[in-house]
Amino acid sequence: MARLLLVVITIIFMSNAHAKSLEITFIVPDKNGPAFWKMVTSISQVAAKTLKVNLEVIYSANNRFEHKLQIEKLAQRKRKPDYIIFRPFQGTVRDSFNLLEKNQVPFVTLERAIFSLESEDIGVPKQKYKYWVGQVVYDNVVGGKLLKDALVKEHFVRNPHKKLFMTGIGGNHDTLSLDRQSALEQLILNDDDSQQIIVNQIFPMLWNT
């Protein structure tokens, strides 16, 4: 994610190479503190400084209500950002997109953690919303395979003659977590060592205190 966000900021900069002071706002979909988003934010700030882009970082709680509120505040500013980068939340995607479109604020989205009906309704960048200029997505199946292969390899190096009993801890109840879980299950079923790998259970989690 951090590297992908670095690419996004670079592309935005290159497409606005003649702009004197490009203003980008990044809405972090979490509170200030968790290690993952802290890493993403740090790399983004370094990229922005290198490219001489003004990057504003706004933290929000990991829920759709706070996120929607931050979008509303940005859209109502007298001096709006040139671009907003954010992760859409299930249940508020249309409202946020409509508001940014109405106020003519270009935006780039991270991930696609929304279920099919809402996902189909918004379409793809530039299709229904002309100010939705792009999205950052990645292949959960490939990611799941890399993780599964690393875990399986480590287990059989340490315990070559023992079955691997796996218990999964998932993320929030969204399409990303479900895709990763489905990918893991299918990968194990189709694995040459499938008889030696047993998935006990996969627990969905809410990552807050």
CATH of the domain at 83: 3.40.50.2300
Instruction: Write the burial class of residue 160 (CB in 10 Å: 0-12 exposed, 13-18 middle, 19+ buried).
Output: exposed
What DSSP designation does 30 have?
S
Q: How many CA atoms lie within 13 A of 153 on its CB side?
A: 6
pLDDT at 86: 93
| pLDDT at res. 200 | 86
Q: Is there a single domain that holds both residue 59 and residue 129?
A: yes
**Domain with 52 in it:** 2-136
- pLDDT attached to residue 30: 86
The number of domains in the chain is 2
Same domain as 171, residue 114: no
- Give me the pLDDT at residue 37, please: 86
Q: What is the DSSP secondary-structure string of 52-98? A: T-EEEEEE--SSHHHHHHHHHHHHT-SS--SEEEE---TTTHHHHHH
Closest to 87 measured CA to CA, from 40, 42, 43, 49 = 40
Q: Which pLDDT score is estimated for 172?
A: 66
Q: Residues of the chain whose pLDDT is less than 50? A: none
Q: What is the pLDDT of residue 108?
A: 95
Do both 109 and 52 map to the same domain?
Answer: yes
User: How many residues can be counted in the chain?
Assistant: 209
Strands 132-136 and 197-203: unpaired
Nearest-angstrom CA–CA distance, 185 and 166: 11
| 209 located within any domain | no
Same domain flag for 154 and 193:
yes
Burial of 202 (0-12, 13-18, 19+ CB in 10 A): middle
For residue 172, what is the DSSP state? S
* Residues 63 and 130 placed together within one structural domain of the fold: yes
Tell me, yes or no, whether 115 lies in a domain.
Answer: yes
Q: What is the residue whose two structure tokens read 């966000």?
A: 5
